Amino acid sequence: MPDLKGPGPSWLYFAFGIGMWLYSTFDNVDGKQARRTGTSSPLGELFDHGCDALNCTIAGIVEASAFGCGISWQTITIIFFTTMTFFFSTWEEYHTGVLYLGYVNGPTEILTFAVLACFASGIWGPGIWHVPASQGLPLIGSLFPATWELMDAMLAITFVAMLFGHCMVCCWNVYSACKEQNRSFLATLPQIAQYAAFSVSCYIWLRNSTTILTNNHLVLFLITAGTAFGRIVSKIILAHLTEMPFPSYTVQMVPLAVGAALSWLGLFTPRTELAFLAISAMFVVVAYLHWALVVIERFCEFLGINCLSIRPRKHRVKTQ
């Protein structure tokens, strides 16, 4: 659905749910398959988490469509939640060496809820998420403003759970790792500024946009920002695998920062903003693909492996 609102045909929401379930299943079994075939490698981890980073935006768009959020700040908030939690998990893994998943985590419970939400929209329609909060949550609905929808209340609850149940836990785990290694925890906090700059740039651009929210160009913007986010996180994963310093900058942030500045200064017209957004989308996608191909080629050459096929075991041993 181009407008991310609908309502669409029931089969579409069921297709969303099935696709989300397949993604969750493959995401959980790829490591087992690699160990079974004896092909575990740093490249596999980079592939796994790199695809997850890109999927933060893609799955967020699909879920926003299933919820019937439309071209709105509700959709933007969903993308913010998915990217923020994944950034903190990746930042945590860089310092602890472990990708910690709590009792309630994204790859399992959250994706399961997302699948069920898609099915619910397929049965009753996405309108069920936009009833008054007092009707959708009769026990606690009175705690929210009277004008809030069920979707608004769900986002507020998710934010509190995300902040205290995930981000703060990530910070505590990094603090514990730094304490064990006699390193300064405070020295790691500026590394979060990269995601803060990403989020602030997106917010400023969208808040002052002349066309993105009013003329249905939000998906193009989210693909642009999501690809830039994928590069940010993938560079952190690569630095973790190769024991390199924490990356503090990526060139794909430039279009977002420039777009935010031009939007804030009021220098865009709807036509020039759309042209700049389209050019930015092409730039970040091409830059990402070029970087990914270079990294994959170097990993394959160094490890003596193929990217998408398994070499005969004798050949692999000989190459190594």
C-beta separation of 98 from 3 below 8 A? no
C-beta separation of 191 from 246 below 8 A? yes
- Of the residues 49, 95, 166, 240, which is catalytic? 49
What distance separates the 2 farthest-apart alpha carbons in the chain? 69
Counting other chains too, the contacts that 295-303 makes at CB distance below 8 Å and 24 or more residues apart are 295/46, 295/238, 296/43, 299/41, 299/42, 299/43, 299/46, 300/43, 303/41, 303/42, 303/43
CA atoms within 13 A on the CB side of 216: 6
Distances (CA, A) of 190 to 120, 186, 259: 41, 8, 24
The conformation of residue 132, written as its DSSP 8-state character, comes to B
Question: Cα separation of 219 and 279, whole Å?
Answer: 15
Q: Among this protein's residues, is 95 annotated catalytic?
A: no
Question: Cα separation of 211 and 232, whole Å?
Answer: 26
Helix ranges, the chain (H): 10-37, 42-67, 73-96, 111-124, 133-136, 150-162, 168-180, 193-207, 218-242, 253-264, 270-303, 313-319
Handedness of CA 87, 25, 281, 77 (dihedral sign): negative
- Give 232-271 as a DSSP string: HHHHHHHHHHHTPPPP---TTHHHHHHHHHHHHTT---HH
Closest CA to 27 of 49, 58, 4: 49
Active site positions, annotated? 49
